[in-house]
Amino acid sequence: MKHLKYKRLLLKLSGEALAPGGKGTGFSVDNLKRYSSEIAEISRRGGEVAIVLGGGNILRGAQLKEVSRSTADRMGMLATVINSLALSEFLISEGLKVSIMSIISVPELAEPYNPLKARDYLSEGRVVILAGGTGNPYVTTDTASVIRALELETDIMLKATKVKGVYDSDPERNPNAKFFKELSYDQAIAMDLRFMDKVAMEIARENGLKIAVFSLLEEGNLIRVALGEDVGTIIHP
């Protein structure tokens, strides 16, 4: 059995990744089963997995114009708790032990987020799902993911997307978009590449966090990235 290149990793999953077709609203049982199966395979190989979930399949706060942005973002944080509960059920069905930790207080559903305790859980082989983003409005789940990856001392952050990796323009709109196998943060910022928000990129760059951007649509990619295979784009300090 091939050994993992990255033992402790943080996976950032958008809410849309849980939806049918990888977009829209609701839940896809097939997607949840596949992601859980691949996460279980990483765990069986000795990997330690933390997960940050978005809530866009339920609610995207920035798009809800009828209420204040602050309130809409907090509604989105609650959506990530719902997604965490859904994913945890499928992970448990794979035989994994799972702990949901939330930065917002929902004691009946998740325990309070504590990075020291989360690191202990990871060392014990538990999958740790991190809900609630940063707990602050106006902050993306990209930024939350980078902060959690640093707090949990992960070897890499994995950003799952709908496309192969990072391009110089949107490949879904531009068939001639240039794909990058690897980039430095300085290059990505200089070229104004928008695979994640600028605040998240700056925090990652300043703290030396390696990030892999890859397509979740191709089955097995999550395991391949953890093994260090040539999948997606690597962004390094």
Q: What tens digit of pLDDT does each residue of 143-159 get?
A: 999 999 999 999 999 99
What's the predicted TM-score (pTM) here? 0.94
Task: Specify the pLDDT at position 23.
Answer: 63
Among the listed residues 170, 188, 50, the one whose alpha carbon sits nearest the alpha carbon of residue 119? 50
Tell me the residue type at 30.
D
Among the listed residues 177, 164, 171, 156, the one whose alpha carbon sits nearest the alpha carbon of residue 221? 164
Task: Specify the pLDDT at position 63.
Answer: 66
Sequence-separated (6 or more) residues with CB below 8 Å from residue 110: 81, 84, 100, 101, 102, 131
Task: Round to whole Å and give the CA distance between 206 and 21.
Answer: 35
Task: Specify the pLDDT at position 124.
Answer: 97
Q: Where are the beta strands (DSSP E) in 14-126?
A: 48-53, 98-102, 111-112
List domains and CATH numbers for the chain: 8-236 (3.40.1160.10)
Q: Is the dihedral of CA 149, 62, 64, 158 positive or negative?
A: negative
Helix axes 69-93, 29-44, angle to 10 degrees: 60
pLDDT in tens, 18-64: 998 756 788 999 999 999 999 999 999 999 999 999 998 987 656 66
List, for the chain, all residue ranges whose pLDDT scores fall below the cut of 50.
none
Task: Specify the pLDDT at position 185.
Answer: 93
Task: Specify the pLDDT at position 61.
Answer: 55
CB atoms inside a 10 Å sphere around CB 173: 7
